[in-house]
Amino acid sequence: MINFRQMISWLGIAVLMGVAGGSVTVSAKVVTNSFLTTQRQLKTYNSKRTLKLTIPKNTTVQVTGIKHDHGKKYVALNVDRLRYGVRKPLLNAQNTSKVSRWIQANGKNFKLVKKPTYLAYYNITRSTAGHKLLTYVADGNLWQGSALPANYQQQIGVRFTVTTDGYLEYFNQSPYQYVISPKPSMTMKVQKAVHHGRNVDLYFKKSFNQLPLTKVAKKGDNRYRLRIYRTYGDTATAIPDADNASQVALNELYTISGTQFYMHIENARFLGDD
Domain count, the chain: 2
Cis peptide bond prior to 89, omega within 30° of 0: no
CA dihedral 128, 130, 134, 137 (to 10 degrees): 0
- Provide the percentage of residues in the chain whose pLDDT is more than 90: 75
Name the domain boundary from 90, 113, 136: 113
Q: What is the pLDDT of residue 242?
A: 80
CA gap 191, 182 in Å, rounded = 23
Same-domain check for residues 128 and 248 = yes
Same-domain check for residues 84 and 168 = no
Same-domain check for residues 109 and 121 = no
- Provide the percentage of residues in the chain whose pLDDT is more than 70: 86
Question: Rg for the chain (alpha carbons), in Å?
Answer: 22
Same-domain check for residues 106 and 123 = no
Q: Is residue 192 part of a domain?
A: yes
- The average pLDDT across 10-25 equals 41
- The region, left, alpha or beta by phi > 0 then psi within -120 to 50, assigned to residue 133 is alpha
Rounded to two decimals, the pTM is 0.87
Q: Is residue 138 part of a domain?
A: yes
Q: What is the pLDDT of residue 12?
A: 46
Same-domain check for residues 240 and 132 = yes
Same-domain check for residues 134 and 253 = yes
Q: Does the pLDDT value for residue 200 go beyond 60?
A: yes
- In Å, the largest CA–CA distance within the chain is 84
Name the average pLDDT for the chain. 88
Same-domain check for residues 71 and 199 = no
Q: Is residue 18 part of a domain?
A: no
Burial 44-83 (b: 16+ CB within 10 A, else e): bbbbeeebebebeeebbbbbbeeeeeeeebbbbbbbbbbb
Q: Does the pLDDT value for residue 64 go beyond 80?
A: yes
Question: Which residue, 110, 131, 96, 133, is CA-closest to 63?
Answer: 110
CA gap 65, 148 in Å, rounded = 28
Same-domain check for residues 264 and 227 = yes
Name the domain boundary from 113, 144, 169: 113
Q: What is the pLDDT of residue 183?
A: 96
Selected residue with higher pLDDT from 234 and 22: 234
Q: Does the pLDDT value for residue 21 go beyond 70?
A: no
Name the domain boundary from 59, 84, 113: 113
Q: How many CB atoms are closer than 10 A to CB 126? A: 14
Confidence band for 146, pLDDT divided at 50, 70 and 90:
very high
Same-domain check for residues 203 and 104 = no
Same-domain check for residues 141 and 181 = yes
Q: Does the pLDDT value for residue 274 go beyond 60?
A: no
Which of 13-17, 91-95, 124-128, 139-143 holds the top average pLDDT?
A: 139-143
Same-domain check for residues 125 and 247 = yes
Please write the tens of the pLDDT for every residue from 73-131. Answer: 999 999 999 999 999 999 877 667 899 999 999 999 999 999 999 999 999 998 767 77
Q: What is the pLDDT of residue 272?
A: 52
Same-domain check for residues 202 and 98 = no
Domain extent at residue 95: 34-113
Q: Is residue 27 part of a domain?
A: no
Selected residue with higher pLDDT from 94 and 33: 33
